[in-house]
Amino acid sequence: MMKLAVIGSGYVGLVAGACFAELGHEVILVDNDAVKVNALQRGDVPIHEQFLPELLERHRNRRLSFTGDLAAAVKASDAIFIAVGTPPTEDGEADLSYVESVARGIAGSIDRYKVVVEKSTVPVYTSTWIRKIMLLNGAPPELFDVASNPEFLREGTAVTDFLFPDRIVIGADTLRCAEVLRECYQPLVGGAYYLCPEAIPGPEDASVPPPLICTSAKSAELIKHACNAFLAMKISFVNAVASICESVGANVKQVVHGIGSDSRIGPRFLRPGIGYGGSCFPKDLLAFRSVARECGYDFRLLDEVIRINEEQRHRFLRKVRKALWTLKGKRLAVLGLAFKGGTDDLRESPAIAIVKCLLQAGCEIAAYDPAAAGHAAESFAHRGMSFADTAYDALQGADALLILTDWEEFAALDLDRAYDALRYPIVIDGRNLYEPELMAEHGLVYYSMGQPDAVPEKRATRTLKLA
């Protein structure tokens, strides 16, 4: 057992703190927001994430505690993980002011050897700057090391991603520092955690135990940004391919099957849709591009990845106009507001961007999302926006159905019931959850991304509800 402090109770910090406690460590989670700390102490779970409520309930007030006292947490811990926000500035650079503030606070509380670990996604050289800031604020140089330990968590599966990772990357510039981080993850890399009867169940294809990759701090910092940039590039690439498929009459699912079967490429992140979003990809691409520019490299490939992603939203809106001709006064059912299924995160959600454009065009929106509707209702104050309790409530009387998030329940709709609820049998699917042939069999006119449009042959035999 080690004593760890995690600074920041946001997405990364909360998941990391709960999972480290699950591994048997004594964890203090620190936040300067007293409201958040009090809520966590009461047992509130602020984010929608599978298995997180169970871990918080299992370890709260046992191996996991919450506080606003940074100094006390630092003094009590062997390693301090910095997991505060790094939002983008207007020019795309990462705002590291929160990281700097925490580094100053840690420096004043060093009383024995500590390892200070970057857990937030930060640009290269951040570890160097953290060390400089701590030295300037009086931290004895022999009593601390700074390391990088990037997270590779996907929202919706963050707990299993932490406990069953593809790899664990630790960037340390001294052997002593590397050994401390190795001890933090020993229950995983040694395999002991997977023998526990109460261990969280992992995916079938998990690599157990995971490999531990030791690098320099700078290399670890670059690994995180390069990884996210590459994954975003795969998404934009397949969306560009989907556009070509539509032009020539090919089916992007068939093309993707052929591409993804190549072991050098693989099928993951080759799903066409309305583009990537969330708190990581958009921010990290801008930050990585900014780092490249500072180093004198014009990373134009990233510019094109970003451009294609933005264009996807416009392509989808053109599909809506194609299906409905005019938008003003149309009532649309929208399924999905979060940027992806399995989470309630609305940050940089392409679904939200599309809904805003439709509202500006004069549409009325009835939206349903299993987890994000509450957050959306707090931020949307538009008279044309309403929120339904179920998917079928949203569909009732709508001129068309728009699928914007890949929740599993949206891929399992009762299509006959959906047909009966809609005013016109039109579905515009931004996530390719259905096969065109199946939709046509159920009398639905179906538009998707990179697949042929589907128009039922016996469409006229069903009475459209015009009143």
Query: Do 427 and 435 contact (CB within 8 A), yes or no?
Result: no
Predicted pLDDT of residue 88: 86
Query: Do 130 and 99 contact (CB within 8 A), yes or no?
Result: yes
Q: Does 158 have pLDDT greater than 50?
A: yes
* φ, ψ at 163 (rounded to 5°): -85, -20
- Helices 97-107 and 126-136 cross at an angle (nearest 10°) of 40
3 state DSSP class of 369: coil
Q: Which has the closest alpha carbon to 108: 79, 145, 77, 71? A: 71
Which sign does the torsion angle of CA 234, 237, 241, 242 carry?
Answer: positive
Predicted pLDDT of residue 378: 87
Q: What is the mean pLDDT of residues 283-298?
A: 93
pLDDT tens digits along 65-120: 999 999 999 999 999 999 999 988 888 888 999 999 999 999 999 999 999 999 98
227 is catalytic: no
Interatomic CA distance for residues 179 and 172, integer angstroms: 9
Q: Which residues, other chains included, contact 427 with Cβ-Cβ below 8 Å and sequence gap of 6+? A: 400, 401, 403, 418, 434, 439, 444, 445, 446, 447
Predicted pLDDT of residue 229: 95
- Which of 280, 295, 357, 363 is catalytic? The answer is 280
Query: Do 454 and 437 contact (CB within 8 A), yes or no?
Result: yes
Interatomic CA distance for residues 210 and 212, integer angstroms: 7
Query: Do 45 and 80 contact (CB within 8 A), yes or no?
Result: no
Q: Which of 81-95, 205-219, 439-453 has the lowest mean pLDDT?
A: 81-95
pLDDT tens digits along 344-400: 999 999 999 999 999 999 999 999 999 999 989 988 877 899 999 999 999 999 999
What is the overall mean pLDDT for the chain? Answer: 94
Predicted pLDDT of residue 463: 46
Tell the burial category of 360 from Cβ atoms under 10 Å away from its Cβ (0-12, 13-18, 19+). exposed
Q: Does 465 have pLDDT greater than 60?
A: no
Beta-carbon neighbour count of residue 338 at 10 Å? 30
| Domains of the chain with CATH codes | 3-215 (3.40.50.720), 224-308 (1.10.1040.10)
Q: Which residues, other chains included, contact 192 with Cβ-Cβ below 8 Å and sequence gap of 6+? A: 186
Beta-carbon neighbour count of residue 289 at 10 Å? 23
Q: What is the DSSP letter of 171?
A: E
**Residue positions counted in the chain:** 467
Predicted pLDDT of residue 121: 87
Residue 458 confidence class, pLDDT cut points 50, 70, 90: low
Q: Does 331 have pLDDT greater than 50?
A: yes
* φ, ψ at 366 (rounded to 5°): -110, 110
Q: Which has the closest alpha carbon to 63: 25, 30, 19, 29? A: 25
pTM of the model: 0.90
Q: Which residues, other chains included, contact 242 with Cβ-Cβ below 8 Å and sequence gap of 6+? A: 252, 272, 449, 450
3 state DSSP class of 413: coil
Interatomic CA distance for residues 305 and 230, integer angstroms: 10
Q: What is the mean pLDDT of residues 24-31?
A: 98
